[in-house]
Chains A and B, each alone.
Chain A
Amino acid sequence: MIISPSKFCKTFLKSRSEIIFLLGSILTSFGILLVTVGGSWDITNHLLSKPETFFSPPHALMYSGVAISLLGVITCFIGWNNLQKFKNSYFLSFKIKLIGIGLLTGAGPLDFLWHSYFGLDGLLSPPHFTLITGMFLCSIGGMIGISRYLKFNNCSPTVKYLLVLAIIPVWLSTSGIISSLSLPFSSTDFFEFNPEPTIAFVIASLAYPFLISLSLTLIFRLSNYQFGIMSILGGLFLLIYSSTAIVPNFAMFDTIQFYSLNLIPFIIADIFLKINKSKLSQFFVGGLLGSVFYMVYYPYVMYTYNEVLLGKLVSPSLIYFVYFELIQSVLIYTLIPASAMGILGIIISVKLSKKILMI
Chain B
Amino acid sequence: MSINVNKFLIYLSGFVLLSLYFLLTIFILPSEFLMTEQLIPEPYFQSTLSDSQINLGDSFRLDIVSINNGDYADIHIVSVAFPDLFEIDDVVKIATYDFSLSPSYISIGDEIGSTYSGGIETTFAQYPSIEAMSRPLKSDVETHLDVIVTPKTSGIFNIYVKSIGIPHTSDVSHYPYSGILDHQNEHVLVYSVTVNP
Contact = CB atoms under 8 A, between A and B. Distances in A.
Interface of A: 48-49, 51, 251, 254-255, 257-258, 261-262, 264-265, 268, 271-272, 275-276, 288, 295, 311-313, 315-318, 320-321, 324-325, 327-328, 331
Given A261-B24, A272-B14, 7 more contacts: A48-B135, A49-B101, A49-B135, A258-B24, A264-B18, A317-B74, A318-B74
B120 A312 contact: yes
B32 to A, nearest CB: 9
Contact of A51 (B25, B31, B100): B100
B136 A48 contact: yes
B94 interface: no
A275 B4 CA distance: 11
Interface of B: 7, 10-11, 14, 17-18, 20-21, 24-27, 29-31, 33-34, 36, 38-39, 72, 74-75, 100-101, 117-120, 135-136, 166-167
Contacts of A312: 120
A258 B34 CA distance: 13
Contacts of B38: 317-318, 321
11 contacts: A49-B136, A255-B33, A257-B29, A265-B21, A275-B10, A313-B120, A315-B118, A315-B166, A317-B72, A318-B38, A324-B30
Given A49-B135, A258-B33, A313 B119 contact: yes
Nearest to B121: A313
- Which 4 pairs between the two chains have the least Cβ-Cβ distance? A49-B135, A315-B74, A324-B30, A313-B118
B124 to A, nearest CB: 17
Given A49-B100, A325-B34, A315 B18 contact: no
A276 B21 CA distance: 22
Nearest to B3: A275
Select the residue from A261, A271, A275, A315 with max chain B CB neighbours within 10 A: A315
B30 A318 contact: no
A88 B27 CA distance: 53
A257 B14 CA distance: 20
Nearest to B41: A317
Nearest to A274: B10
Contacts of A51: 100
B41 to A, nearest CB: 9
Contacts of B166: 313, 315
A324 B136 CA distance: 23
Select the residue from B38, B39, B74 with max chain A CB neighbours within 10 A: B74
A328 B33 contact: no
A175 B34 CA distance: 28
Nearest to B28: A258
A317 B101 CA distance: 19
B136 A316 contact: yes
Given A312-B120, A328-B26, A251 B21 contact: no
A184 B7 CA distance: 46
Contact of A317 (B18, B27, B33, B39): B39
Contacts of B39: 251, 317
Nearest to B14: A268
A161 B119 CA distance: 48
A265 to B, nearest CB: 6
Contacts of A288: 18
A311 B120 contact: yes
A327 B14 contact: no
A321 B136 contact: no
Contacts of A321: 33-34, 38
A254 to B, nearest CB: 8
Contacts of A324: 29-31, 33-34
Contacts of A318: 38, 74, 167
B52 to A, nearest CB: 37
Given A49-B136, A258-B25, A271 B119 contact: no
Contacts of A325: 30, 34
A327 B100 contact: no
Contacts of A315: 74-75, 118, 166-167
A331 B25 CA distance: 11
B109 to A, nearest CB: 15
Nearest to B75: A315
Contacts of B167: 313, 315, 317-318
A268 to B, nearest CB: 5
A288 B17 CA distance: 13
